[in-house]
Structure 1
């Protein structure tokens, strides 16, 4: 008789910040996701695909868990904003399946694009935002 398989723990995911890419710190074991710094990669689709590969199955299997995303970006380009909407869609899907999802968005006072992104997020995914837009400390 086979014993039931134990769930495999997902390893945390970390990328150090670059000149045009944010620090990425996905602590799957605690449900804490962080993007901090500049998000203006040369190819946003390629950069964010690296993040979505471990994140998508994590969120799909969250099973009524809790996850908090912190976006503390000082600069955001249009391509990254589009990728972040894909991220919001993934989080929204996890929320629709019963998981508790909270997003905290911080911005640099000079970055109008991140402020506009927050407005879109509030309109398209109102249940995700845990707090009003705040400035990066």
Structure 2
């Protein structure tokens, strides 16, 4: 394998899932931070930054979900959905739904941060964190 082998890089068995997954995780966490700052200092700039982060996270989570399913098929060769793998899949779907719902709520209340939306974002970040932790076990990193 050559260091700059584009075919190997793009067609890896893990389907780029382990590369792409970090973007929505970071974006959702930073969106929560910006919303907390916006709520603390009543700053619409922080609220706008939070909305932008959530928008990008909502867009980025779709390729992550697709590559996650492809990685299951290619890397794990369609292993039966049991134990940690099944829980990771269920929480992954929940994460996608919660990120989309949080983005939709942010879109409806654009320019302001409310305490109910902060609670929703905290819950989303918690589910995403547990999903990521379990993904580490599935990939072998947290073993």
Normalised by the size of structure 2, how large is the TM-score? 0.28
- Structure number with bigger Rg: 2
Using the size of structure 1 for normalisation, the TM-score is: 0.28
**Per chain length, whose mean CA-contact separation is higher, i.e. which structure has more relative contact order (CA < 8 Å, sep 6+)?**
2
More helix by share: 2
